[in-house]
Amino acid sequence: MVIFMFTTVILAAGMGTRMKSEKPKVLHKVCGKALCRWVIDAAKEAGSEKVCTIVGHKADMVKGEIGDVCEFALQAEQKGTGHAVMQALDFIKSSQGEVVILNGDTPLVTAEAIKNAVSYHRSLKNNATVITAVLDNATGYGRIVRDNDGNVLKIVEQKDASEEEKKIKEVNSGMYVFDAQSLVYALDKITPNNAQGEYYLTDTLEILWGAGKKVGGYTIEDNDEIRGINDRVQLGEADKIMQKRINEYHMRNGVTIRNPESVIIESDVEIGNDTEIMQNVTIKSGSRVGKNCVIGMGTILDRAVIHDNVDILSSVILESEIDEGTHVGPFAYVRPNCKVGKDVKVGDFVELKNSNIDDGTKISHLTYIGDSDIGKRVNFGCGTVTCNYDGKKKYRTTIGDDCFVGCNTNFVSPINVGDGAYIAAGSTITEDIPKDSLSIARARQVNKEGWKDKRN
């Protein structure tokens, strides 16, 4: 068995001035996931044993948001990409196998490409391998200078390049594979003698070549993978490319997506096969959708758990769970912390919040249920309201199994309704209702005959 061991250093200390943001660049999101988190995940998926992210600008904020998925090293002052990697020297020295260097603002790099680059590096027994791309417009990138045998002699930054070098179309992606020893050796030798007065990581290649080491370039197949994000336009472009990848992944998994360009499915969403997603749907990170569901036009799911055979039309479901065979919408609003059972109907203009609705219950129209526990097979008439808030505190409403709630009922909570109770339409319920009883809580109707004539 080949042991595929390597570690990864991710550069993420820069400010990202062109984002014009209070937030560090690497925390901006593509398809619901922070830029540098995409890179961390790609490295791990490729098999990286350990990952160290170099943070600097708003370091605590970056560390806090990324969490303990990797190690961190601090680059207090940003003195260049080489200087950034130096901050991870301890990490590098304690690592086994190769060191892969990636950029925190290049979210489209795939695990596949990282693996291929490491394999290439190994098969040629290189000491350093730079991942390159051939671009029609290479402006802004470091250019790859090779000899006739294809060895990489050096990388010249745009700002330091001669007119001749600027014509080179092969560019530095900013991603590399090094053997750890060579990297440590070369980092020690770089100086800030260049147009930007920075310690360039790119200089390590020329240093290694000069010391008789083997330096190569691995050209990536899909140029999109090296796209770095510097401004919001590039962020939007990367989002679009990533969205296409995600939607195609789900379609290949057996999910039908109608008009996929209009559908937003963020990272870390699971969808079962034979589910159909209609146009303009948004499914945010952390949501799970079962098999054979229909997620109808315009629906928004945010951290929602939807079981099999559920059908949702033009509704919003936040941090809630919907069990099998239930029908939601059109235009229902399920707010956080609801658990809706099997074969329930949550109809048009129904709002649920912090409530449990048991199997077979029907809430068909124009109803608000908040802070409530509703039993099985309850039927709600149109326009039921739980009055769960007295202006200071919230109270719960509990309704047993097999109850019938007439239209326009108000429950002034806290209220307990026993199993099998009936409530007359138009009732304002202020006291508990015993099981199997009929409750009527409204003024008795008076008809004053001939009233119109007397009035005149």
Q: Give residues in contact with Mg ion (CB under 5 A).
A: 228
The residues annotated as belonging to the active site are 365
* Strands 98-103 vs 170-179: parallel, antiparallel or unpaired: antiparallel
| DSSP state for residue 134 in the 8-state scheme | E
Task: State the maximum Cα–Cα separation within the chain, in Å, rounded to a whole number.
Answer: 114
Shortest distance in whole angstroms from residue 240 CB to ligand UD1: 20
d(CA 44, CA 26): 18
User: Looking at beta carbons only, is 14 or 360 nearer to ligand UD1?
Assistant: 14
Cβ distance to Mg ion smaller for residue 46 or 201:
201
Q: What are the structure tokens assigned to 319, written together? A: 């941090």
Decide which of Mg ion, ligand UD1, none touches 238; Cβ closer than 5 to 8 Å per partner kind. none
The counts of H helices and E strands in the chain are 10, 39
Local structure of 11: helix, strand or coil: strand
Site string for ligand UD1, 7-46 (x = CB under 6 A): ----xxxx--------------------------------
- Is 341 a binder of ligand UD1 (CB under 6 A)? no
Nearer to ligand UD1, 165 or 319 (CB): 165
**Residue 103 sits in the site that holds ligand UD1 (CB under 6 A):** yes
The entry of ligand UD1, Mg ion, none near residue 341 (CB within 5 to 8 angstroms by kind) is: none
Q: H or E element: which one contains 306?
A: strand 305-306
Q: Cα–Cα distance between 16 and 39 in angstroms, integer?
A: 17
Distance of alpha carbon 274 from the chain centroid: 23
User: By CB under 6 A, what part of segment 161-200 binds ligand UD1?
Assistant: 171-174, 200
Query: Which residue type, as a one-letter code, is found at position 403?
Result: C
Told to check if 75 binds ligand UD1 by CB under 6 A, we report: yes
Question: Quick one: CA dihedral 35, 30, 312, 380, positive or negative?
Answer: positive
Instruction: Supply the Cα-derived Rg of the chain in whole angstroms.
Output: 31
Candidate residues 31, 66, 72, 80; the one interacting with ligand UD1 per rule CB under 6 A: 80
Is 342 within 8 Å of 323 (Cβ atoms)? yes
Shortest Cβ 131–ligand UD1 spacing (Å)? 10
Q: Is 201 in the site for ligand UD1 (CB under 6 A)?
A: yes
Cβ proximity to Mg ion: between 126 and 172 the closer is 172
Tell me which residues touch ligand UD1 (CB under 6 A): 11-14, 54, 56, 75, 78-81, 83-84, 103-105, 141-142, 155, 157, 171-174, 200-202, 228
